[in-house]
Amino acid sequence: MAVNKLALLRYKTIDDCLRNRFRKWTLDDIIEKVAEVLYDREGIATGVSRRTIQADIQVMRSDKLGYNAPIVVTDKKYYSYEDRDFSITNAPINNADVEKMKEIVGVLKQFNGFSYFEEMSDMIARLENNLYKSTHAGRNYIQFESNQLLKGLQYINPLYQAILNQRALLIEYKSFKAREAQQNIYFPYLLKEYRNRWFLICKPKKNAQLITLALDRILEFQELPQEKFIAPVIDFDTYYNDLLGVTKTEKDRAHKIVLEIDRFNAPYVLTKPLHPSQTVLQETEESIIIRIDVVPNFELEREILGFGECMKVLGPRFLASRIRKRLEKSAARYQPKQQQTEL
């Protein structure tokens, strides 16, 4: 059973509603939400009928598309998933849809190589590889970096839509340091990926400063269409130009970071620069000295520490001191307990 675009959009919206535990969803609530999404994304102003949504729910419950969604009704009016971790996005696609996706990938491959599509090469290869695996048994011919245990990836599309439509969000978030999760209102501005983790750049309603939320620490969220959206005043196309990673405040400024790399590791840094601002200040038979203009942050320190004894910070002085202290603490962990006590 092939699924047309509008039906798939309705199923996905219903799925988003049923996974949202912030509120109880009646059939009328779901109809209203689907109509809103159809208008926002497709310009359809005629809404959607009650019969259509009821039929969609039955299809989702059935095996026609392989969903077998555990949709239950409580108090004779509230719809939800019996399994709170269920989502139709986890269900496998059928053969007809695989064939359609192959056609789409074929069209995309024709544009691959054009300047406007240069950044799509990786995505096209991923799509083609996943489709090949779904129809052919055997080994992989291409492997991408991925983390199968990474949480929060299901939030990417709904968060993107919230940013696109300028919708405030009520987010339940639990940081690594917090004992309990907290709920706050945020204005979402940007989704950013760094080293296979995704982050939401946003502004809390009660704070003027931008903050960064990791998607894998978001527990739940919902749109607040009645909340007035506060638009960003920052140009995000340039905001992260002076940064490694995602950790930055609006007050942070780039520093001239000077690094010395031994000759054995110099080729790695020369062929894969640490940052687009990287320039070579000096080359000798023993090492190279480079400079990058970036904001000092946790990600920069982790990058430097990753080179271990092969890299030395020459400036600024405060960063060199910080790296030295961290290396000393790291070395101390390898000392026998008696020597640690004496230290």
pLDDT per residue as tens digits for the range 26-61: 999 999 999 998 988 888 888 899 999 999 999 999
Contact indicator for 174, 182 with CB cutoff of 8 Å: yes
Residue type, 239: Y
pLDDT of residue 115: 61
pLDDT bucket at 294, cuts 50 / 70 / 90? very high
Residues 284 and 317 grouped into a single domain: yes
37 within domain boundaries: yes
143 within domain boundaries: no
CATH number at residue 192: 2.30.30
Residues 69 and 107 grouped into a single domain: no
Residues 305 and 261 grouped into a single domain: yes
Q: What is the pLDDT of residues 110-165, one digit of tens each?
A: 766 666 666 667 777 777 777 777 666 666 666 767 676 678 888 888 899 899 98
Long-range contacts of 86-89 (CB under 8 A, 24+ apart): 86/19, 87/15, 87/19, 87/154, 88/11, 88/12, 88/15, 88/60, 89/12, 89/15, 89/154
Calpha distance 109→104 (Å, rounded): 9
**Report field, pTM of the whole predicted structure over 0.75:** no
pLDDT bucket at 177, cuts 50 / 70 / 90? confident
pLDDT of residue 135: 67
341 within domain boundaries: no
- Domain extent for 51: 5-90
Residues 224, 159, 298: CA angle, nearest 5 degrees: 115
**Whether pLDDT at 320 is above 80:** yes
Q: What percent of the chain has pLDDT over 90?
A: 57
Calpha distance 316→298 (Å, rounded): 15
Calpha distance 13→122 (Å, rounded): 28
Q: What is the pLDDT of residues 199-258, one digit of tens each?
A: 999 999 988 889 999 999 999 899 998 899 999 989 999 999 999 999 998 889 999 999
56 within domain boundaries: yes
pLDDT of residue 107: 74
Domain count along the chain: 4
Residue type, 224: L
pLDDT of residue 92: 66
343 within domain boundaries: no
pLDDT of residue 128: 75
pLDDT of residue 114: 64
pLDDT of residue 213: 95
**Whether pLDDT at 1 is above 60:** no
Strand locations in the chain (E) = 71-74, 78-81, 168-173, 182-194, 197-204, 211-214, 218-224, 255-262, 279-283, 287-294, 311-315
pLDDT bucket at 93, cuts 50 / 70 / 90? low
Report the DSSP pairing between strands 279-283 and 78-81.
Answer: unpaired
Residues 12 and 79 grouped into a single domain: yes
State the average pLDDT for the chain: 87
Structure token digits, residue 24: 């109880």
Q: What is the side-by-side strand order in the sheet with 168-173?
A: 211-214, 197-204, 182-194, 168-173, 218-224
245 within domain boundaries: no
pLDDT of residue 127: 74
**Whether pLDDT at 312 is above 50:** yes
246 within domain boundaries: no
Calpha distance 35→44 (Å, rounded): 8
pLDDT of residue 4: 79
CATH number at residue 19: 1.10.10
27 within domain boundaries: yes
CATH number at residue 308: 3.30.70
**Whether pLDDT at 91 is above 90:** no
- Of the candidates 180, 206, 239, which is a domain's last residue? 239
pLDDT of residue 20: 85
